[in-house]
């Protein structure tokens, strides 16, 4: 059983999302709705949702303010928002989930399924560190100051992009290598992190590798990169010319 609380100041949006969940999410569930975040805080006591689907832009109390005040409860959150590039980047950097309005049914199913998998997992952990990181990121003047949240089986870790040397693909997992010689494995694909880090001087040099240019010591004639942690990474043959030009120009 999952308990879903939908919060949006637009009553029509709340009702539409409730109908979509009732029609397309087949698991056993209870759904409550609210178009008033202050009232929704009171509802948290009695309903105790496992999942909150939360609009970001609301008058009086936006979604981030709500999360601050709801920190004492244990629940997952999926933000719902119209296209707001800065907020979405902050959410993705904080390893939290979101849906763009109008809600796509496939994306809705995938997001709720991720919640179900986490709920069933014995390794699930509180999202509060992720929410705290989101709030921190939103307070920064530009996205270069964001911290990346990595949720692993060992716990949640926060890193500045500049401390990441290399990301390596391993099936549906990604292995991170850091400047302090530490490494972590995260259950997300390299492509997801390529999208997140593309504006932080990271480049996909090979189908298996995403590197931080600031940690490249040199590029040899064969297109092999020497990194600051001592690793040597091959460059994809088809991307060699493009990558060499990128390193020479930036």
pLDDT in tens, 164-190: 999 999 888 999 999 999 999 999 999
Q: Which domains does the chain have, with CATH numbers?
A: 2-137 (3.40.50.2300), 160-249 (2.40.50.1020)
Calculate mean pLDDT across residues 90-102: 93
224-227 sheet: strands from edge to edge: 216-219, 224-227, 232-234
pLDDT in tens, 59-70: 999 998 999 888
pLDDT in tens, 112-150: 998 988 777 644 556 788 988 998 998 898 888 999 999
What are the angstrom distances between the C-alpha of 51 and each of 118, 157, 219, 234? 11, 23, 48, 43
Q: How many CB atoms lie within 10 A of CB 27?
A: 11
pLDDT reported for residue 242: 77
183-186 sheet: strands from edge to edge: 183-186, 173-178, 164-170, 209-212, 202-206
Structural Rg of the chain based on CA atoms: 20
pLDDT reported for residue 250: 59
């Amino acid at each position: 059983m999952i308990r879903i609380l939908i919060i949006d100041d637009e009553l029509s949006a709340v009702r539409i999302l409730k109908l979509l969940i009732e029609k397309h999410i087949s698991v056993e569930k209870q759904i409550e709705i609210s178009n008033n975040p202050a009232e929704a805080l009171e509802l948290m006591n009695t309903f105790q949702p496992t999942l909150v689907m939360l609009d970001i832009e609301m008058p009086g109390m936006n979604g981030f303010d709500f999360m601050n005040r709801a920190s004492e409860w244990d629940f997952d959150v999926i933000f719902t928002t119209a296209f707001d590039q800065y907020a979405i980047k902050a959410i993705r950097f904080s390893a939290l989930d979101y849906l763009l309005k109008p809600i796509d049914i496939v994306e809705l199913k995938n997001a709720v399924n991720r919640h179900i998998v986490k709920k069933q997992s014995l390794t699930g952990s509180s999202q509060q560190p992720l929410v705290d990181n989101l709030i921190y990121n939103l307070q920064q003047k530009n996205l270069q100051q964001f911290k990346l949240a990595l949720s692993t089986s060992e716990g949640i870790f926060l890193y500045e992009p500049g401390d990441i040397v290399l990301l390596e693909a391993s099936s549906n997992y990604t292995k991170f290598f850091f400047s302090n010689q530490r490494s972590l494995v995260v259950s997300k694909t390299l492509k997801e992190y390529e999208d997140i880090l593309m504006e932080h001087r990271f480049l996909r040099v090979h189908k298996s590798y995403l590197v931080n240019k600031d940690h490249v010591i040199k590029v040899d004639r064969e297109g092999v990169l020497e990194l600051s942690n001592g690793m040597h990474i091959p460059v994809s043959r088809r991307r060699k010319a493009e990558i060499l030009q990128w390193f020479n120009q930036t």
